[in-house]
Amino acid sequence: MTEEPSNDAGLGLWLACVEQLSQDLPEQQFNTWIKPLTAVVAEDFSKVTVYVANRFKLDWIRAQYAARISGLLEDLYGQPVTLELALAHRESVTRTYVRPYQAERSSPSDAPTLLPVSASAEEASAPAFRNRLNSALTFETLVEGTANRMARSAAMHVAGSPGHLYNPLFIYGGVGLGKTHLVHAVGNQLLKDKPDAKILYIHAEQFVSDVVKAYQRRTFDEFKERYHSLDLLLIDDVQFFANKDRTQEEFFNAFEALLAKKSHIVMTSDTYPKGLTNIHERLVSRFDSGLTVAIEPPELEMRVAILINKARAENAEMPEEVAFFVAKNVRSNVRELEGALRKILAYSRFNQKEVSIQLAREALRDLLSIQNRQISVENIQKTVADYYKIKVADMYSKKRPASIARPRQIAMYLAKELTQKSLPEIGELFGGRDHTTVLHAVRKIAAERQQLTELNQQLHVLEQTLKG
Ligand SMILES: Nc1ncnc2c1ncn2[C@@H]1O[C@H](COP(=O)(O)OP(=O)(O)OP(=O)(O)O)[C@@H](O)[C@H]1O
């Protein structure tokens, strides 16, 4: 029977609450404490029972987050909601586990439904795959655009003929732009073509911890056997190797061994190889010895396509005009775009309303109000001066050395881009400069941004910092 899930609105309430927490809390805190939670929402919404894995965590959630969760639930529902914390019992959790938006169609209407925070919570509790690949992250589910075209085609090339060109492939870019997705896609594609290939996806932090374990347990032979025998090593966020000398040495050895046997290495990082700090020069030069490609923040049309695709994957429809509205307002990265989408879908389900611009506006009101918060020219000057390590006073000074003039031009460009101020007003705030000077700076930086990946990267970081 194809009956709708009974507790869909309850699911919406809980997901909307979690979504809000994901915006409010630092990522690490959210991932550690909130993401693993599951909840049961009573049919009449009077009570939400949140299940926590163990006693220690339960005490911590009670002390640190309970008041906040209950306040949020009340805000969302419009009436007081009793929050109860309980210990999760593994068997019952697995038995009645329901993925968001894919609630078990046969769940009886009077049975409470356990609602996880996210699909990845289920993946986290499932036994780890040997290769650690997430099968959902494929080339098919990765939307292509100008921002990732080059990285995507290099990655496809590697997946199609590993061990040849572009070895190592080094992919870099800001947070949430699809680097992890792309490396998993390489692994999944190769696995499809060659099911016997020895592939490993690993986060750099996990590699560090493997080195430490091998060191403590004196199991370096096993460690080497494991890493040096791979056909494809996918390693994420290598900036985490900074200051870890022993790890760098082991990675260097693995790197050399793998390249010698024509295995392929794909790495990601938040910056280009020479921008990495506290990593040995010999490793940095190895990173740069194949192909280095950037992933840029997605352009408007790509953001729209991502929203429409992701909504479809959740079995929801997102009209194009709503996707444009969201994409125009959520510009920084794909992870935020996904967050906005989840919020809109949860809000729509909870209120049982169709997805429209008005609904999106309501669902994203907090996010939009943060965005509308005025960014001041003074703030831009301070942020840019801090970033380039010059004095704020140099923003108004007449000094001309490039080390000062360039950050000043960058600040003028950002002032034009992020505030409503006119060119003469900006000139005035930069030590009484003429509006043609500002115009020159704005045009120059805008043109160079198209050409210079490093500059674009720096601007992206500055924009993210300023938009908070
Ligand atoms: N082009 C795209 N098409 C579809 N989904 C995308 C695209 N780019 C990113 N995503 C999705 O956005 C989310 C964030 O991407 P991902 O985790 O790959 O980012 P990242 O660059 O590795 O970020 P971080 O540096 O924070 O690890 C993921 O859910 C991913 O599937």
Q: Is 339 in the pocket of ligand 1 (CB under 6 A)?
A: no
Distance CA 190, CA 187 (A): 5
Name residue 273's amino acid: P
- CA-nearest residue for atom 8, ligand 1, is 178
What number of residues does the chain have? 468
- Residue range 196-208: average pLDDT? 93
User: Which of 78-84's residues contact partners 24+ apart within 8 Å by CB, and which partners?
Assistant: 79/45, 81/45, 81/46, 81/47, 81/48, 82/46, 82/47, 82/48, 83/47, 83/48, 83/50, 84/47, 84/48, 84/49, 84/50
By the 8 A CB rule, do 306 and 337 touch? yes
pLDDT digits (tens, 9 = 90+) for 273-320: 988 889 999 999 999 999 999 998 898 999 999 999 999 998 999 999
**What mean pLDDT is reported for the chain?**
84
More confident residue, 264 or 117: 264
Question: What is the per-residue pLDDT for 373?
Answer: 65
Determine whether the shortest distance from the Cβ of 335 to ligand 1 is under 6 A: yes
For residue 265, pLDDT over 50 is answered with yes
DSSP letters along 131-172, please?
A: S---TT--STTS---TTTHHHHHHHHHHHHSTTSSSSSEEEE
169 or 46, which is more confident?
Answer: 169
Q: What is the mean pLDDT of residues 226-254?
A: 95
Does 460 have pLDDT greater than 90?
A: no
| DSSP string across 103-123 | --TT--TTS--EEES-HHHHH
407 neighbors 437 (Cβ within 8 angstroms): no
Separation of 237 CA from ligand 1 center, angstroms? 13
User: What pLDDT shows up at residue 33?
Assistant: 86
pLDDT of res. 6: 42
Q: How far is residue 131's CA from residue 208's CA, in Å, rounded to a whole number? A: 17
Q: Ligand 1, atom 26: nearest CA belongs to which residue?
A: 175
- Partners of 47 in the β-ladder: 82
Token pair in block for residue 284: 């940095």
Element (H, E) at 67: helix 66-77
Listed residue (211, 206, 234) closest to 222, CA to CA: 211
Q: CB neighbours of 29 closer than 8 A, spacing ≥ 6?
A: none
> Can you give the pLDDT at residue 371?
63
What sign does the CA torsion over 147, 182, 247, 290 have? negative
Q: Ligand 1 pocket, 269 CB below 6 A?
A: no
**How far apart are the C-alpha atoms of 20 and 103, rounded to whole Å?**
21
* C-alpha closest to that of 42 among 11, 75, 2, 5: 11
Instruction: Report whether pLDDT(77) > 80.
Output: no
User: Residue 95 pLDDT > 80, yes or no?
Assistant: no
52 CB near ligand 1 (under 6 Å): no
Residue bearing the bigger pLDDT, 261 or 130:
261
- 468: Cβ contacts below 8 Å, ≥ 6 apart: 370, 373
pLDDT in the model for residue 31: 83
Name all contacts of 211-214 with Cβ < 8 Å and 24+ positions apart: 211/244, 211/246, 211/247, 211/250, 214/250
- Answer whether 335's CB lies under 8 Å from 175's CB: yes
Asked whether the predicted pLDDT for residue 124 surpasses 50, the reply is no
Q: Which of 27-41, 55-69, 99-113, 214-228 has the highest mean pLDDT?
A: 214-228
How would you class 195 by CB atoms within 10 Å of its CB: exposed for 0-12, middle for 13-18, buried for 19 or more?
exposed
Q: Is residue 100 scored above 60 in pLDDT? A: no
The model's pLDDT over 313-361, given as tens digits with 9 standing for 90+, comes to 989 999 999 999 999 888 778 988 999 999 999 989 888 899 999 999 9
Residue 201's H or E segment, with its range, is strand 199-203
Percent of the chain scoring above 90 in pLDDT: 51
- Ligand 1 atom at minimum distance from 268 CA: 22
Q: Is 338 in the pocket of ligand 1 (CB under 6 A)?
A: yes
- Weakest-pLDDT range from 119-133, 205-219, 293-307: 119-133
Ligand 1 close to Cβ of residue 235 (< 6 A): no
Distance CA 434, CA 47 (A): 63
Measured in angstroms, how far is the CA atom of residue 436 from the centroid of ligand 1? 40
pLDDT at residue 232 is higher than 50: yes
Average pLDDT on 91-110 reads 29
ipTM here? 0.98
Nearest to 405 by CA among 395, 392, 416, 393: 395
Residue 332: per-residue pLDDT: 76
Nearest CA to ligand 1 atom 7: 178
Mutate to test the pocket of ligand 1, among 28, 238, 335 (most ligand atoms within 8 A of CB): 335
- What's the mean pLDDT in 230-240? 95
Assess whether the C-beta atom of 142 lies below 6 angstroms from ligand 1.
Answer: yes
Q: Is 178 in the pocket of ligand 1 (CB under 6 A)?
A: yes
What per-residue confidence (pLDDT) applies to 98?
28
What distance in angstroms lies between residue 286's CA and the mean position of ligand 1's atoms?
26
User: Which residues are CB-neighbours of 392 under 8 A, at least 6 positions away?
Assistant: 381, 382, 385
Atom of ligand 1 lying closest to residue 184 CA: 18
The CA angle 143-28-24, to the nearest 5 degrees, is: 80
At 203, which helix (H) or strand (E)? strand 199-203
